[in-house]
Chains A and B, each alone.
Chain A
Amino acid sequence: DTEVTQTPKHLVMGMTNKKSLKCEQHMGHRAMYWYKQKAKKPPELMFVYSYEKLSINESVPSRFSPECPNSSLLNLHLHALQPEDSALYLCASSIDSPGEQFFGPGTRLTVL
């Protein structure tokens, strides 16, 4: 298995909702990443997990809460988001941190 999977593909949520994004890889990679990407902008790093420990939090608001239950799985819990949080959320993994990163297809999030 040489891919990173993300679910759901699309998500629409209200500002009071709680939802989660899921990312999975079975390549034995030990680093996993969350990025946010707005239209016509590069990916913006949010969090890095290395060996299941949070190693980088790029001053992301607490309404985004990452979780790494095991080396293959990465979640992003969402609560009380704002419309400006609408974006493509990308998960990536690499053998180690930093390294060649492989991206999942992304979750297109719309906050109403």
Chain B
Amino acid sequence: QKEVEQNSGPLSVPEGAIASLNCTYSDRGSQSFFWYRQYSGKSPELIMFIYSNGDKEDGRFTAQLNKASQYVSLLIRDSQPSDSATYLCAVRNTGRRALTFGSGTRLQVQP
């Protein structure tokens, strides 16, 4: 069983719609959760992190964490073609001095 799972996609949404990206994790003791955006040929860029259950909003982005169900999601409101990228979920597990990355979800925003 993979420690951090994401649907590889592609997830295709029309411009202006809400894109919903999901991530599940297996380590119940996981403490911190990160979302990275990676454009093709570029390096990952940190866009959100969340530590507590509930929602955290930053501009058009909202991260949602549900520790009981062991999932974290990223909502992108008013999606733009420039949001088309791969979104990586990363989790800080107990006892490991590195983040564990999911395999990423490719998002395509259609103009």
Residues of chain A whose beta carbon lies under 8 Å from any beta carbon of chain B:
31, 33, 41-43, 45, 48, 50, 55-56, 88, 90, 97-106
Which of A42, A48, A97 sits near B88, CB closer than 8 Å? Answer: A42
B90 to chain A: closest residue by CB: A101
> Within residues 48 to 99 of chain B, which ones have a CB less than 8 A from any CB in chain A?
49, 88, 90, 92, 96-99
Nearest CB in chain B: distance from A49 CB, A:
10
Report the number of A-B residue pairs with Cβ-Cβ less than 8 Å.
49
List, in ascending order, chain A residues with CB within 8 A of B88's CB: 42-43
List, in ascending order, chain B residues with CB within 8 A of A105's CB: 42-43
Q: Is the interface of B mostly helix, strand, loop or mixed?
A: strand
> Given A42-B104, A98-B92, does the pair A103, B43 have CB atoms closer than 8 Å?
yes
Number of interface residues of B (CB under 8 A): 20
Residues of chain B whose beta carbon lies under 8 Å from any beta carbon of chain A:
32, 34, 36, 42-46, 49, 88, 90, 92, 96-99, 101-104
Nearest CB in chain B: distance from A35 CB, A:
9
Nearest CB in chain B: distance from A103 CB, A:
4
> Given A41-B103, A42-B88, A42-B104, does the pair A102, B46 have CB atoms closer than 8 Å?
yes
> Given A41-B103, A42-B102, A42-B104, does the pair A97, B43 have CB atoms closer than 8 Å?
no
Beyond A42-B103, A98-B92, 20 additional contacts (C-beta under 8 Å) are A33-B98, A41-B103, A42-B101, A42-B102, A45-B98, A50-B97, A56-B97, A56-B98, A88-B43, A90-B43, A90-B44, A98-B32, A98-B98, A100-B34, A101-B90, A102-B46, A103-B36, A105-B43, A106-B42, A106-B43
